[in-house]
Structure 1
Amino acid sequence: MPDDHQLAAKIASAAAERLLDLRRSHSESGKALGAIGDAESNTLILQLLLAARPGDNFLSEESAPDPSRLGQHRVWIIDPLDGTREYGESCREDWAVHVALSVDGQPAAAAVALPAREELFATPAPALAPAPPGRLKILVSRSRAPALAERVAARLDAELVPMGSAGAKAMAVLRGEAHAYLHAGGMNEWDTCAPVGVALAAGLYASRIDGSPCVFNQADVKMPDLLICRPELAETLLAAIAAEAG
């Protein structure tokens, strides 16, 4: 039996391959292809989890939440296709697969696959690249960059860089392509659990934008804001966020 880290990586890799095959073989594009990818990736991931961890529960973007998960210590939190819009655009790479295990509300094992880049980032110890040189770069949502991020960037003379998937943005910080990822304005646990788990394991800072920890497997699955950044920048960014959010 693989351990939880190995299992998360194995399942994310399998879903990544399925999504790439679908993207190559289907004539559909845009929303139609995204819907197919979401459904097929979700089915595969849940089949693999049920076979490997039949006693665990799960929370997935593509399945109705099971209230019984709230009484369990171990819950897998899944986004079968993060960045559905980008997946439907054949030229884009900024979409991902998220597979994470939450134990008592904290990510205990996690994997983020970036299939179009043929990359997999997984716990327990992903490598953290050096910080990028030059001006502070903050990654934001491609489709709904928060006004707060614009104010923070102006305060810190930072550059805002739009990108798709939350997993893609978090892993870009890990790869040393940006200094931070800032979001405010609406996400859910499946968007954030695996990226937060991998980021923390790599030595990055990750929290809500008020500095409180990210807690998972909650009755309300919304997690409306997130900061992932180089640890040496956390204090500066949190102070700028507090000043601009007040």
Structure 2
Amino acid sequence: MDDAELAAAIAEEAGCLLTALADAGRLTGKALGDEGDRRANDLIMARLAADRPHDAILSEESADGPARLSARRVWIVDPLDGTREYAAARDDWAVHVGLAVDGVPSAGAVAVPRRGLVLSSAAPPPLPPEGEPLRIITSRTRPAPIAAYAAEQLGARLIRMGSAGAKVAAVMLGEADAYLHSGEQSEWDNLAPVTAALAAGLHCSRLDGTPLRYNRANVIVPDLLVCHPGRAAALVSLAAAFEVRGNP
């Protein structure tokens, strides 16, 4: 398998493990989330070690180290994105498996197991048409002020959802038109979704329009924009206006 196919296969396998663990009913709540994080991480780390033994790995659930900073190829994974949603038996959680080469998104897959979805750069869906009115997706529990501002300025409808991967999947499938996030994420929160979205023809960048870069010493990504390319310029301009107003 090439890198994108491998990412999709591993994300799907980890998603099946997580679904089976939840459906078994032996664990609930925080205990289920903790066990899901651990088991999915063990699976992903083992698969990557077996299939790409010379690549570095950055995972939310494993200890980080400086060795990856000198590696050209780094897998960046979130074994369970949306642990809160998973533990609450919701469907808006995901598995992220992505690869950055020289800091640039290269291959990635997002599994949304409860929806039976695996979206990857190996076989992305076609670019959906722009919706009218515009639909902007934001966090279910911590909605981004920039998203509310953009919705107000554009007469858009706000949609709230959990996992970042589930949000980007909604944009890829035409269920939303833009995902605006501020207030920081980590690299594992968005590398795999961004890689799949770029392959589908969507615009992905920082809110100021600059490209996203990965495998940095500081893994924090301050903000994110994923949208139909026809909307990118207007949303970047709105984000700039929001900053001028003195908003965080």
Asked whether the equivalents of residues 205 and 229 of structure 1 are also in contact (C-alpha less than 8 Å), the reply is yes
Report how far residue 237 of structure 1 moved.
0.7
Equivalent residue, structure 2, for 1:97: 95
Structure 2 CA distance, aligned partners of 1:244 and 1:193?
25
Task: Indicate the residue corresponding to 1:54 in structure 2.
Answer: 53
The equivalent residue for 2:75 is 76
The amino acid of 2:94's aligned partner reads A
Give the match for residue 3 of structure 1. 2
Letter aligned with residue 222 of structure 1: I
Question: How many residue pairs align between the two structures?
Answer: 244
**Aligned-partner SS, 1:187:** strand
What does residue 121 of structure 1 align with? 119
Instruction: Please say if residues 131 and 178 of structure 1, whose CA atoms lie closer than 8 Å, have aligned partners that are also in contact.
Output: no
Question: What CA distance in whole angstroms lies between the structure 1 residues aligned with 2:238 and 2:7?
Answer: 35
Do the aligned partners of 1:38 and 1:84 also contact (CA within 8 Å) in 2?
Answer: yes
1:42 matched residue in structure 2: 41
Within 1, Cα distance between the matches of 2:131 and 2:207?
A: 24
Cα offset, 1:89, TM superposition = 1.4
User: How much has 1:125 moved relative to structure 2?
Assistant: 3.8
Give the drift of 1:133.
Answer: 3.7
CA offset digits 1:87-132 (Å, max 9, x no partner): 0112x21100000011000111100000101110111340135335
- The corresponding residue for 1:144 is 142
What's 1:16 paired with? 15
Match of 2:201 among 199, 203, 227: 203
Alignment-mate amino acid for residue 237 of structure 2: A
Question: Which residue matches 1:134?
Answer: 132
> Paired residue for 1:66?
65
Q: 2:110 pairs with 82, 105, 112, which one? A: 112
Q: What is the aligned-residue identity percentage?
A: 51
Q: Which amino acid aligns with 1:179?
A: D
**1:85 aligned residue:** 84
Give me the whole-angstrom Cα distance separating, in 2, the residues matched to 1:144 and 1:128.
Answer: 30
Contact 1:131-1:177 at 8 Å conserved across structures: no
For residues 30 and 133 of structure 2, the distance between their equivalents in structure 1, rounded to whole angstroms, comes to: 36
SS in 2 for 1:79: strand
1:7-51 per-position Cα deviation (integer Å, ceiling 9, x unaligned): 111111110110011011133222221111001000000000001
For the residue of structure 1 that corresponds to 2:38, the secondary structure is helix
Please, what TM-score do these two structures have when normalized by structure 2?
A: 0.96
What is the DSSP-based 3-state SS (H/G/I as helix, E as strand, rest coil) of the residue aligned with 2:175?
coil
Are 1:187 and 2:185 matched, yes or no? yes
Runs (4+) off by over 6 Å: none
Match of 2:185, SS state, is coil
Q: Take 1:122 and 1:148, find their aligned partners in 2: how far apart are those partners?
A: 28
Structure 1 residue aligned with 2:26: 27
Q: Distance in 1 between matches of 2:7 and 2:96?
A: 9
Give the secondary-structure state (helix, strand or coil) at the position aligned to 2:180. strand
User: Which range moves more in the overlay, 235-244 or 188-197?
Assistant: 235-244
